[in-house]
Amino acid sequence: MAELENDLFLRALMREPVSRTPMWIMRQAGRYLPEYRATRAEAGDFMSLCRNPELACEVTMQPLRRYALDAAILFSDILTVPDAMGLGLYFVTGEGPKFERPVRTADAIRSLEVPDVEKELGYVFEAVRTIRRELDGKVPLIGFAGSPFTCGTYMVEGGSSREFPTIKGLAKEAPEVLDQLMDTVAETTTEYLNAQIDAGAQAVQIFDTWGAALEPDDFRRFSLASMQKIVDKLTREKDGRRVPVILFTKGAGPLLADLAETGCDALGVDWTTDLADARKYVGDKVALQGNLDPATLRESPEAIREGVARTLASYGKGPGHVFNLGHGITPDIDPDNVSVLVDAVHELSPQYHSK
């Protein structure tokens, strides 16, 4: 396998000096790109796209052809894991993900088993190998999974939710049952991420989109503890290089301090916390990734540049920053505005680095 031509992203995650701030964009492959919509139409539907390694590779590469990004992210979805556990994932247009067989009762949770990930998710590992070949050492490839709690919300509620009534009910009325669900999903996710790393993922991110919807103590017991179990068992070195782990709990705020204790290498930060405050919460334990409000991309080129300038200034000088949005890019964004964003990070960030 070729040496990496651009390892700024991996170096920033390790808090090593870099010449400028590296960047990627959460959901960089997706519906805001017309070429993505064309490939998805060719595949027929979203899951067929995920299950086809050639097409998953194609959509992974699409944003890199347009923009000077410093990392690629595997094209897949966090809900492939519950799907592999037998819940039957399907998508209803306009309504988002749904499960045919949600797990709502103690009995259903007790009978869940850790699946054979090679057998059920082999298509993901094949996509990772295909993307690595196609990238040919240009930039690193990020693998990912959902946090057990975030996957759990979809597994228990049966689809997207705003209030999380069923899983919050379990947290209060049957916490041991929810512990058990978290354990089974954490074990599956550990095997899943280690198999992605085996196949060639050079960093991994755990998306904890909904963990911070819990009260802080419940966040610690269910979401943080289950991510901790994963971090403890991940492969951390491959081919002589560290495989960094990024945890992204949306809306974590002061809980970033707890997340920094897990032994991860970096934390994702959303736009509701200033990076300057986030740095105070975590000290020099971990790198930080973020955190421009994705809504900024709907504004003028000047406003986008100002947003980038503010984000870079908020982190301030020194290593350990990976530029990103504070959450995924939305389907309504004009792809030209993303060029403005990328150019601004390239232009404005070198002054924050002494190397």
Q: Contact region for ligand 1CP (CB under 6 A) — 76-84, 173-181, 185-193, 317-325?
A: 76-84
Q: 266 forms bridges with which residues in the sheet?
A: 246, 287
* Of residues 67 and 144, the one with the C-beta less far from ligand 1CP: 144
Residue 223 as a binder of ligand 1CP (CB under 6 A): the answer is no
Residue 46 as a binder of ligand 1CP (CB under 6 A): the answer is yes
How many other C-beta atoms can be found within 10 angstroms of the C-beta atom of residue 111?
Answer: 11
Write out the binding residues for ligand 1CP, residues 168-207 only, by CB under 6 A: 207
Q: Contact region for ligand 1CP (CB under 6 A) — 74-82, 188-196, 270-278, 346-354?
A: 74-82
How many other C-beta atoms can be found within 10 angstroms of the C-beta atom of residue 145?
Answer: 25
Residue 344 as a binder of ligand 1CP (CB under 6 A): the answer is no
Catalytic option among 7, 70, 77, 270: 77
Pick the binder of ligand 1CP from 4, 14, 27, 272 (CB under 6 A).
27
Residue 301 as a binder of ligand 1CP (CB under 6 A): the answer is no
Q: What is the DSSP string of 60-123?
A: HHHHHHHS--S-EE----TTHHHIIIII-EEEETTTEEEESS---SHHHHHT-----HHHHHHH
21 in helix, strand or coil? coil
Quick check: is 352 catalytic? no
Write out the binding residues for ligand 1CP, residues 151-170 only, by CB under 6 A: 160
Contacts of 116 (CB under 8 A, 6+ apart): none
* Of residues 48 and 354, the one with the C-beta less far from ligand 1CP: 48
Contacts of 275 (CB under 8 A, 6+ apart): 269, 288, 290, 291, 311, 314, 315, 316, 321
130 in helix, strand or coil? helix
Quick check: is 77 catalytic? yes
Catalytic residues: 27, 31, 40, 77, 154
Query: Which residues sit at the interface with ligand 1CP, rule CB under 6 A?
Result: 26-31, 40, 46, 73, 75-79, 96-97, 144, 146, 150, 160, 207, 209, 328
